[in-house]
Structure 1
Amino acid sequence: MDLPMLLGAGAVAGTLAGLLGIGGGVIIVPIVTLLFERQGIPANLAIKMAVGTSLATIVVTAISSIYTHHRKGAVDWGLFKIMGPSVFVGSLVGAWLADLIPGEIMYIAFVVFLFAVSVQMAMSRVAAHRPLPSTPGLASVSTFVGISSALMGIGGGAMHVPFLSYCGIPVKRAIATAAAVGLPLSASATAGFIIGGLDEQGMPAGSLGYVNLPVFGGVVGASLLFAPLGATLAHKLPDLLLRRLFSVFLFLLATRMAFNLF
């Protein structure tokens, strides 16, 4: 494995996890997929390994960023009590569906969603557009986020942060809460990918289901150091700037993903 590349991916993923409340999977998945393919692993297996391993690393980066956000009193634990269990169930379903739903359909829908959200966040200066939905509505949203995130190997912040912000939650609180919700999401999905890959043939050495432990260790080593840095920066930057940064991040992500369709 290319250790410098893994450490670099972990550093960027950890910083983004703390700064924007995302899991960093959008950085880890493509890099790890490429590294597995260089080892001669078929692309269809490489992507599953990358997603499973990415979700496992998000468990660790989420814990690190949650600690920093909680110390600053930014996590809305009331929302977490509703969103956490829902996203846990959703991510289990997503891990189960990973082999059933055509990846092209989910991929295109996700790209369109990211473009739309990035434009909405860039243009909006007023945080409150509508109130938070009722408890069943909020639970339904988080269940959907859990399903989608497990399929994509991400922590859910790319969807939860814009949604909470749109519903009037201050962006720093939205980022901190999304980071917290990313923990049950990633833990549940990781368990699903481990179980789902136990009977898979042709796995690289050091694999536990679809989670590769050597890659996991390399990425986590760097991400642990940088997640608190990102979380600290999130509390020092103005809310409007954070919204703009998140908007740019989503637009670039959607653009990169769209190029993969051609």
Structure 2
Amino acid sequence: MAGMDPMHFLELAGVLLAAGVVSGLLAGLFGVGGGAVIVPVLFQLFGVIGVPDALRMQLAVGTSLAVIIPTSIRSFMTHRARGAVDEELLKAWALPVIGGVILGSWLASFAPSAVFKLVFVFVAWATAIKLGFGKASWTIAQDIPKEPGRSIIGVVTGLLSALMGIGGGSIVNLVMSFCNRPIHQSVATSSGVGVLISIPGAIGFMAAGWSKMGELPPLSIGYVSLIGAALIMPTSVYVAPIGARLAHRLPKRTLEIVFALFLALMGLRFLVSLI
């Protein structure tokens, strides 16, 4: 793909702009960081422009991690200014999360795309079940476990998030809600985890895909499409408020059900592609 002609290059730019529009709309509508939306959208659109099937999922995941860097930093700074972040927990998770991200990036250098798809299916369906059927009474502990439990949670969160191309918000929210933490604190703390995941994750996926440069679209550094990140970021930010305005017109329960269905369908899409 290194020799892509100008028309194909414009085609790539067009589908990535479309990805930004769709991702921004859905991210604003459902109040997520965007990774759970960006990955399936990019997976489809990279297929349109002929990215090899064996590399499509890795490129979608790596590009997603790069895209969510600025949004995760901005979100964390906002939540931190309001004092909503559990900074003690975030510090305890910092090194384990980064360690999990490094492990996930290393796996990306040789793991088949099926691994990434299965991780996406598992996390997406777990989140969908929690959103669709979960109750406030669903808890497994009165608080976040002490060490070594906290470090184990951090490593697993970093690993799964890196393989899925998300900032960890879905996973952290699940863990903290099951451990009896309030939702606002869960969302705020997960924004800090997003910073810990997205930056080393994007760098790791660049390194993991370095040997595949000749098979990837132009302006890619490893498994990160620079043109993808550059086009998705501004369009997603521009369109997200439209989705947010739509969200305010719908009941919270309706949004939860619709997003649960979206995640379930995306998980099913990846599961079917494995058959």
The TM-score range, normalised by the shorter chain, is: 0.7 to 0.9
**Aligned mate of 1:182, from 179, 185, 194:** 194
1:222 alignment partner, one of 228, 232, 235? 235
Alignment-mate amino acid for residue 87 of structure 1 = V
User: 2:149 is aligned with what amino acid?
Assistant: G
Measured after TM superposition, the shift of residue 76 of structure 1 is 1.4
Contact 2:205–2:224, Cα closer than 8 Å, also in 1 = yes
**Equivalent AA in structure 2 for residue 61 of structure 1:** T
SS across alignment from 2:204 = helix
User: 2:95 & 2:244 partners in 1: Cα distance?
Assistant: 24
The equivalent of 1:163 in structure 2 is: 175
TM-score between the two structures when normalised by the length of structure 1: 0.81
Distance verdict in 2 for CA 1:97–1:10, change over 3 Å: same
Residue number among 141, 155, 162 corresponding to 1:150 in the alignment: 162
Residue 215 of structure 2: SS of its match in structure 1? coil
What letter corresponds to residue 227 of structure 2 in structure 1? P
Aligned to 1:46: 56
SS of 2:114's partner is helix
Show the counterpart of 1:133.
145
* One-letter code aligned to 1:140: I
1:30 corresponds in structure 2 to 40
Matched, 1:60 2:78: no
Alpha-carbon shift at residue 27 of structure 1 (Å): 1.4
How many Å apart are 1:46 and its aligned residue?
A: 2.5
The residue correspondences of 1:199-218 to structure 2 (distance < 5 A) are 199-200=211-212, 201-218=214-231
Structure 2 equivalent of residue 84 of structure 1: 94
Change (3 A) 1:74 1:227: farther
Letter in 1 for 2:198: S
The total of aligned residue pairs comes to 258
Greater C-alpha radius of gyration = 2
Cα distance change on mapping 1:68 and 1:162 into 2, 3 Å: same
| In structure 1, distance between residues paired with 2:169 and 2:88 | 17
Alpha-carbon contact 2:99-2:155 (below 8 Å) kept? yes
Identity %: 34
Unaligned runs of 5+ in 1: none
Cα RMSD, aligned residues only: 3.3
Checking the alignment, whether the CA contact within 8 Å between 1:14 and 1:226 is kept in structure 2 is: no
75 and 239 in structure 1: CA distance in 2 versus 1, 3 angstrom threshold? farther
CA offsets, 1:51-92, max 9 Å, x none?
111110111120122233223322211111011221111101
The whole-number CA distance in structure 1 between the counterparts of 2:258 and 2:49 is 35
Residue 124 of structure 1: aligned partner: 135
Any stretches of 5+ residues in structure 2 without a counterpart? 1-12
Alpha-carbon deviation of 1:154? 1.6
Contact 1:125 1:240 in 2 (8 A): no
- Aligned counterpart for 1:94 among listed residues 86, 104, 108: 104
**1:221-252 Cα distance to aligned partner (Å, 9 max, x none):** 13345678999999xx9998997787566545
